[in-house]
Each structure stands twice: as structure tokens, then as C-alpha cells.
Amino acid sequence: MNLHAIVGPIINMVNPSIEVRYYASMPSVLDENTGCQIPKYAPPIHFIAQLQPLSQQDLQHVGSINQQRQTKALCLNGTAKGIDRSELKGGDLFEFNGKRWLLTQQIEDWNQAGWCKVLLTEQQDSVETSPEGYQDCSENIIG
């Protein structure tokens, strides 16, 4: 049973959902000229999701009590994946409110119920730049 789908309309009265563009990470490829891993992403899917600040419990869970970068939690009907080195995937991307965010960790996995809660880290690159267009290795470093 997807409880998130049931309570979502009630939550929206207090914290309205937002539309996000979601880019699923595909296996990266190696640039033969530079030796850099180039991330690849599937075409975007549009989602309606619930953006929330990280709670104290979330911060303890991810071990980021004194973090210095902008992070948010996102609850969505569906599934999304963080960094998976074994599959050569660099983490899914989300775009909303004019910014790009990298999924760095799945906080709650309720895939069997049809939803998940993920940790997003704000990226410095522009949403005007296509996620498929990364060439500079330094852009691929989370920081």
C-alpha cells in the first residue's frame, strides 16, 4: 500500500509539491582522449515530488551533522538511485527551481510501496547545460 499517495494531498496543503525533472543515471563511458569518466543520463522524466529540509534524524542517518553544502530531502512516488560504483553509475540528477541536484543517498527505500525518500546535494553546474554534455572531469566531483 502506497501511504505516501494517500497522505500526499493532505501534506500538499501545508507544503505544496513541486515539479522536478529526473535524469536516471546510465553507465558512464571512458573518454579515450582524456581518460575521464563521462556520466550519461536517460532522457528526463517529469515528476511531482515533495521537497523537504533534512530533519535532525536524517542528518544523523547520513552522518552529516556539520555539513557545509546545500542538501535537501525529496519524497517521490517512484524510485531513484544514488551513486553505484559497481554499475558505473554516478547518481541520478534532479532539476527544480532553476538548480541541479545530485542524488547522493537513498534515505528511505519504500520501493515495494511505490515511493522513496532521497538525499539531494546541490550542484554548481547550470541547468542550461545538458547533463549529457559533461566533458571536464572536475565537474564530476561531488563537493
Structural domains for the chain: 3-140 (2.40.10.270)
Looking at residue 130, its pLDDT comes to: 66
pLDDT higher than threshold 70 for residue 2: no
- Highest-confidence range of 69-73, 82-86, 94-98, 135-139, by mean pLDDT? 94-98
Is-contact 115 4, C-beta < 8 A?
A: yes
Mean pLDDT, range 58-66, rounded to an integer = 58
Looking at residue 94, its pLDDT comes to: 92
Q: What are phi and psi of 70, to 5 degrees?
A: -75, 125
Looking at residue 101, its pLDDT comes to: 92
Give the model confidence (pLDDT) of 18-38 as tens digits. Answer: 899 999 888 888 888 888 888
Is-contact 104 54, C-beta < 8 A?
A: no
Is-contact 75 49, C-beta < 8 A?
A: yes
Is-contact 74 85, C-beta < 8 A?
A: no
Query: Which residues, other chains included, contact 70 with Cβ-Cβ below 8 Å and sequence gap of 6+?
Result: 121, 122
SS3 assignment, position 112 = helix
Is residue 140 very low, low, confident or very high in pLDDT (cuts 50, 70, 90)?
Answer: very low
The Cα 4–Cα 11 span in angstroms is: 9
120 vs 132, residue with greater confidence: 120
